[in-house]
Amino acid sequence: MGSRSDIAPPPRARPERGLRLWIVPIGLKQALPWTEALAAQLRSVFGGEVIVAPAPFGLEASFDPQRGQYNALELLERLLALPGSQRLLGIVEVDLFIPMLTYVFGQAQLNGRGAILSSYRLDNTIYGLARDDRLRAARIAKEAIHELGHALGLVHCRDPDCVMHSSLYVEEIDLKSAALCACCRRRLREVPTE
């Protein structure tokens, strides 16, 4: 049985005017084939306007040669420095870390303007498994909703089926749905409209 996100779009979290969100691919030579699909999925969850807008900066400054990874906090800082009032979701295909931790799937500014997520560890080939684009897209969508949920003020949820449930391994991402539970949806409705 596939994850719930593969079967039907989850119910809208916010019936109001919704987000003004930019999906911002960073350090990518060409547009990613899955970003438009992701934009559509985020529109179905949060409503409002979601567009793809490549970043005006690259990844180089965030690279840590000692670790061979990219600093998620530095990237997030540069992302949030972009002008405007829209929410921002940075997308990278490289491995991210934050000081103290070996890796992160993404990093959000709680109750803030945006978040960043990496597709690197969401890809089966990293673990020596067969490529599965459909599964990877589902994982990216769940993580994008999860990180944006943080930016909108949601913390980790105890409901293991809720997309806001904390996932530390890809297997845990696969286990949860792409939808917000009733409790998180209720909390999200308390967020002021854009």
Partner 1 sequence: MPNSQPRILIVDDEAAVRDSLRRWFELDGYAIEVADSGAAALRRMQEVSFDVALIDLRMPGMDGVALQQRMHEVTPDTAVIIVTAFGTIQSAVEVLKHGAFDYLTKPVDPDELSRMVRRALELRELRAQNNRLRRAVDHRGGAVIVGETPAMRTLRAQVAEAASADVPVLICGETGTGKHLVATVLHTAGPRRYFSFVPLACGVSEGELGDDELLGQEGGSLPPTTLPRMGKLQLAEGGTLFLDEVARLGPQTQRALLELLRRGSFTPLGSTRPRATDFRLISASSVALAPLVQANRFSADLYYRVAVLTLTCPPLRERRADIPALARHLLERLSSPGGAPFTGFTPPALERLVGYDWPRNVRELANAIERALVVGRPPLIGAEDLLLGPVSAPPAAPLRETTTTTETTTTETTTTETTTDLSLAAVEQQHIAAVLERCQGDRRRAAALLGIAPALLDEKLALLKPHAAPG
Positions that interact with partner 1 (CB under 8 A): 67, 73, 97-104, 107-110, 150, 155-156, 166, 168-169
Instruction: Compute the least distance from the CB of residue 37 to partner 1, in Å.
Output: 26
Cα(83)–Cα(80) distance, integer angstroms:
8
The residue among 45 and 108 lying less far from partner 1, judged by its C-beta, is 108
The residue among 43 and 187 lying less far from partner 1, judged by its C-beta, is 187
From 49, 147, 172, 190, the catalytic residue: 147
Strand partners, 92: 118
- Annotated active-site residue 49? The verdict is no
Strand partners, 23: 52, 89
Cα(52)–Cα(39) distance, integer angstroms:
7
Q: Which residue has the tokens 């409209």?
A: 193
The residue among 110 and 129 lying less far from partner 1, judged by its C-beta, is 110
Instruction: Compute the least distance from the CB of residue 71 to partner 1, in Å.
Output: 8
Cα(21)–Cα(11) distance, integer angstroms:
19
Cα(4)–Cα(44) distance, integer angstroms:
14
Instruction: Compute the least distance from the CB of residue 120 to partner 1, in Å.
Output: 14
Which positions are annotated as active-site residues?
147
